[in-house]
Chains A and B, each alone.
Chain A
C-alpha cells in the first residue's frame, strides 16, 4: 500500500518508543531489589534489616538474671512493676559486658521527682508529694529504699546497693 511509504516517519517515531521500552525493561531487571514483592509491594529484606537494629534497653529479665536479690526485694514493694531500666536507663551494654560497663547510679533528686512531684494532673491514687515540703533537698534514698520504697519495709534506709553478689 503506497500509504505506508508516506507513513514511514511514524514508524520511526513508534520505533523510538519500542526501543525505550526495551531498555527500560532491561534496566528494571537489574535495578529492582531482588526481595521486592515477596510479601507485598516492598523490599522484604528491609524487615530483617530493621529487626537487626542494636538493642539499647536490655529488658528487666536480663537484669533479674544476675541481680536476683534486688529483683526479690522489688517484688514485695510498690515498685514491683517498675522495670529496672525505667530508673537506671538503657543498660544492654552492661548486660552484655557487665565487667567493663558500669552503670551510673541515678540522682534521686532528679529521678524520683519526675514521677512523684504532686500535680493536679496526676491520677488521684498515685503517691505524690511537694518536693520542697516533703524533703527540702534531702536525697530520697536517705529515707526510702528505691527498690522497696515504703518506709519501714525490711530493706530499710540507704539499702540501695547494686551489683550481683
Chain B
C-alpha cells in the first residue's frame, strides 16, 4: 500500500486518537468530564422524522435491549377529521423495522419518537423505595441495577411508559441517554443513527450548543406538561393529539 505524505498527516493523528481509546480501555468518562458542567436533554423535531426506525435499532444494538422491550420507540399518528381526542396510533414492534406504507387520505400523519424524558422532577425517582433510580448531577435519570429490587413501582409511576422490568436481569431498565457515550463526548446512539436529524442531544448548560440555541428561539413543548415532571425531551412541531 502506497502511503503518501498527505495520507500520513491524516493517519497519524487518527492513530493517536485511536490509541488514546485503546490505551484507556473503555474509560469511565473522558478524564475532563465534569458532571456539574452539563445538564442533558434532547430535542425531537417532529417534521423531520420519517419513521425509519434507525433509532430504535441503534439503541437496541448499543444497549443490548431485549426483544419486545423498548428504551426508545416511534409512534405513528393518523389524525382525521380534526379529531384530536381520538387519533389512530400504531407502533409495530416499537417502530423497529419502520412502518407499513400509509395510503393518502384526508387525514394527516406524523411520527413521534419517544424515550425517557429524563425529568428533572422525576416521579419515578420519587417512588423508588431504596434509591436504586436517581437523577445524576448532570440531569440524566439512571438505574443502579445492582441495587434495584425489581419492585416495578417506578414503572408504574412513569407517566410516559418508558420503563420496563428487564426480563432476565429482573431489575428496572430504561433509556440512559447513552450516558456511557455522552460522558465521552459522543452523542447518543439514537441521535447518531438518525438520518434526518430529527433527534439531537442537547446540553442545556452549554451556551454554545446549537440545540440549546434552537430551544431558545423556537416553540417547543414536552409530553404531558400537566404532570409537571420537568421533562427534558423537547418536541418541536408536536401536534395536540399526541398522547
Contact = CB atoms under 8 A, between A and B. Distances in A.
Q: Is there any pair of Cβ atoms, one from A and one from B, under 8 angstroms apart in the complex?
A: yes
B134 interface: yes
B50 A123 contact: yes
B62 A90 contact: yes
Given A40-B135, A90-B58, A96-B18, A50 B176 contact: yes
Contacts of A9: none
A82 interface: yes
B147 A118 contact: no
Nearest to B1: A165
Contacts of A120: 101-105, 109
A137 interface: no
A42 B78 CA distance: 42
Interface residues of A, number: 48
A55 B184 contact: yes
Interface string A103-117: 000000000001101
A52 B144 contact: no
A86 B76 contact: no
A65 B17 contact: yes
Contacts of B105: 120
A99 to B, nearest CB: 12
B144 to A, nearest CB: 4
A138 interface: no
Contacts of B21: 96
Contacts of A136: none
Contacts of A49: 144, 146
Contacts of B61: 56-57, 89-90
Interface in B29-47: 29, 35, 47
A96 B19 CA distance: 8
A36 interface: yes
A89 B87 CA distance: 34
Given A65-B14, A85-B192, A121-B51, A52 B62 contact: no
A84 to B, nearest CB: 9
B189 interface: yes
Interface in B89-144: 97-99, 101-105, 109-111, 131-137, 142, 144
Interface stretch (B5-13, B160-168, B212-220, B228-236): B5-13
A55 B186 contact: yes
A157 interface: no
Contact of A40 (B101, B134, B195, B197): B134
Contacts of A150: none
Q: Counting chain B CB atoms within 10 Å of each CB, which of A42, A51, A59 scores highest?
A: A51
Interface string B181-192: 101101101001
A164 B11 CA distance: 9
Contacts of B193: 57, 83, 85-86
B153 interface: no
A101 interface: no
Interface of A: 33, 36, 39-43, 46-57, 59-60, 62, 65-66, 68, 79, 81-83, 85-87, 89-90, 95-96, 114-115, 117-123, 126, 164-165
Given A39-B136, A46-B144, 18 more contacts: A39-B134, A42-B132, A43-B146, A46-B142, A51-B179, A53-B63, A57-B189, A62-B18, A65-B13, A66-B11, A81-B196, A86-B58, A90-B58, A90-B189, A115-B195, A121-B99, A123-B48, A126-B196
Question: Which 7 pairs across A and B sit closest by C-beta, in order of nearness?
Answer: A46-B144, A121-B109, A65-B14, A42-B134, A53-B180, A121-B102, A41-B131
11 contacts: A43-B131, A57-B181, A57-B189, A65-B17, A65-B18, A81-B196, A90-B62, A115-B52, A115-B54, A120-B102, A123-B49
